[in-house]
């Protein structure tokens, strides 16, 4: 008995010694209750926080910090060149690390409320956004069905994502601004079909897992409008129109469209899809709406925030000017290139992006997006064709057309 106890203690000691430790190297390290960006947020860790690594799971680390257990992306342990933009500097402030009952930090919620008012957005969107949860068990079954008989990890290795210096996370001001922009888009009307919305989110997250931004929480919504379009907002909020869904014929085509919008977010293109004047993007007194939420969490508002309001306002103007003055074409080229790469890496046949564009070219569908006009579609078909020729595509990639017909029903 004594010998057995000694062996158990020895094994326990070896186990403790073999556990790795690591340190948070970036400004936002979000701890979730599962290994995926859609899992519930438990807390945020400050830069410099040390933690114990319990297990590693496909880009995620199961960690323990004092009494807190959860999962963080392995990317939080990698030091990168710090961003010097005003949003990043605001995000460094130590005021929003605790998560409220809404599953959102005080900083994010404060900016979301302010920008929702500035953009004259839908006042109900913040609640809609925080209430949208992807069912982890249903998603696991969906992923299992998606990859039945398919070697997902081997396929990942065939499609190499190019390295980039783009920041791989969003500060809380950026995330809050993204929610505000999304609230404006949502004011066009959300298509309230829970089953279809869940399906779009499942396909979207299959693609997200295959990207280099697998730890950003993407939320997908359907707009109840007939125009063919898609929108992406900073922080990972994506809209696809009902008109676009009605033009799609396979799940692979859906994956390609979503991958295009995911790429915009991944590259921080800052899509401000709105036609309001500049004064709606002003960020004066951006922190005034945080008081109630922060007080309820026992957090004191940092007055240093106020000193950079003017700079944040100017940056918002700059983002707006970048988008309205025509430089979006560069963004579209990059998003198209990454879209076929992301979708193909996820296992979908990226060539179906061309099939969809050909269908749109010969259709009479209406669009409020210049990048889905006949002229632009022709240019995109030529460009994407060249991109596809450089990818290791084979017959093993899938389209899941039957599941599309079953789940979408168009």
Predicted confidence (pLDDT) per residue in 175-195, tens digit: 888 898 889 889 999 999 999
Extract the tokens encoding 107.
């900083």
pLDDT band at residue 215 using 50, 70 and 90 as cut-offs:
very high
pLDDT, mean of residues 244-253: 97
User: Rounded to 5 degrees, what are φ and ψ at 399?
Assistant: -120, -15
- Cα–Cα distance measured from residue 384 to residue 259, given in angstroms and rounded to the nearest whole number: 13
**Is pLDDT above 80 for 392?**
yes
Between these two residues, 126 and 284, which has the higher pLDDT value?
126
| Cα distances (Å, whole numbers) of residue 29 to 47, 79, 265 | 8, 12, 18
pLDDT of residue 278: 41
Higher pLDDT residue, 113 or 101? 113
Q: Is the model's pLDDT at 304 over the cut of 70?
A: no
φ and ψ of 128, to 5 deg = -60, -40
Calculate mean pLDDT across residues 27-51.
90
The CATH classification of domain 26-79, taken from the options 3.90.1300.10, 2.30.30.40, 1.10.12.10, 3.40.1190.20: 2.30.30.40
* pLDDT confidence bin for 284, thresholds 50/70/90: very low
31 and 58 Cβ atoms separated by less than 8 Å: no
- 248, with CB counted inside 10 A (0-12, 13-18, 19+), is buried
Pick from 57-66, 143-152, 261-270, 384-393 the range whose average pLDDT is largest: 143-152
Residue-level pLDDT at 142:
98
- Listed in order, the ranges of the chain carrying CATH 2.30.30.40 are 26-79
Across the chain, mean pLDDT equals 81
pLDDT category of residue 310 using cuts at 50, 70 and 90: low
Residue 356 in contact with residue 403, Cβ under 8 Å?
no
Give the pLDDT score at 28: 82
Model pLDDT, residue 308? 55
């Amino acid at each position: 008995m004594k010998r057995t106890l000694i062996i158990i203690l020895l094994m326990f000691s070896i186990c403790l010694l073999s556990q790795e430790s690591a340190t948070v190297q970036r400004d936002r390290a979000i701890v979730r209750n599962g290994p995926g960006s859609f899992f519930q947020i438990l807390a945020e860790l400050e830069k410099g926080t040390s933690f114990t690594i319990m297990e590693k799971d496909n880009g995620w680390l199961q960690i323990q910090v004092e009494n807190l257990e959860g999962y963080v992306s392995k990317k939080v342990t990698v030091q990168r060149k710090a961003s010097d933009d005003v949003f990043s500097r605001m995000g460094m402030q130590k005021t929003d690390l605790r998560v409220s009952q809404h599953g959102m930090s005080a900083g994010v919620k404060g900016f979301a409320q302010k920008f929702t008012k500035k953009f004259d957005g839908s006042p109900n969107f913040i609640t809609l956004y925080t209430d949208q949860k992807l069912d982890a068990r249903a998603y696991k079954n969906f992923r299992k069905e998606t990859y039945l008989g398919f070697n997902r990890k081997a396929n990942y290795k065939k499609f190499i994502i190019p390295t980039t210096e783009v920041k791989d996370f969003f500060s809380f001001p950026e995330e809050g601004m993204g929610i505000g922009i999304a609230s404006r888009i949502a004011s066009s009307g959300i298509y309230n079909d829970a089953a279809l919305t869940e399906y779009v989110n499942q396909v979207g997250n299959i693609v997200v897992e295959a990207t280099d931004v697998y730890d950003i929480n993407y939320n997908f919504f359907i707009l109840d409008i007939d125009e063919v379009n898609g929108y992406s907002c900073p922080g990972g909020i994506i809209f696809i129109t009902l008109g676009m869904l009605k033009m799609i014929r396979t799940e692979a085509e859906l994956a390609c469209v979503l991958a295009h919008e995911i790429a915009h977010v991944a590259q921080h293109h800052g899509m401000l899809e709105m036609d309001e004047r500049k004064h709606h993007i002003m960020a004066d007194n951006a922190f005034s709406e945080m008081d109630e939420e922060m007080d309820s969490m026992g957090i004191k508002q940092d007055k240093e925030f106020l000193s950079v309001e003017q700079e944040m306002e100017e940056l918002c103007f700059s983002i707006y000017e970048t988008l309205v003055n025509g430089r979006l074409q560069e963004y579209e080229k990059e998003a198209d290139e990454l879209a076929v790469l992301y979708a193909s890496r996820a296992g979908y046949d990226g060539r179906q992006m061309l099939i969809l564009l050909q269908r749109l070219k010969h259709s009479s569908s209406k669009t409020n997006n210049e990048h889905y006009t006949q002229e632009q579609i022709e240019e995109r078909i030529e460009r994407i064709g060249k991109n596809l020729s450089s990818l290791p595509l084979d017959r093993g990639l899938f389209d899941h057309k039957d599941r599309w017909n079953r789940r979408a029903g168009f």
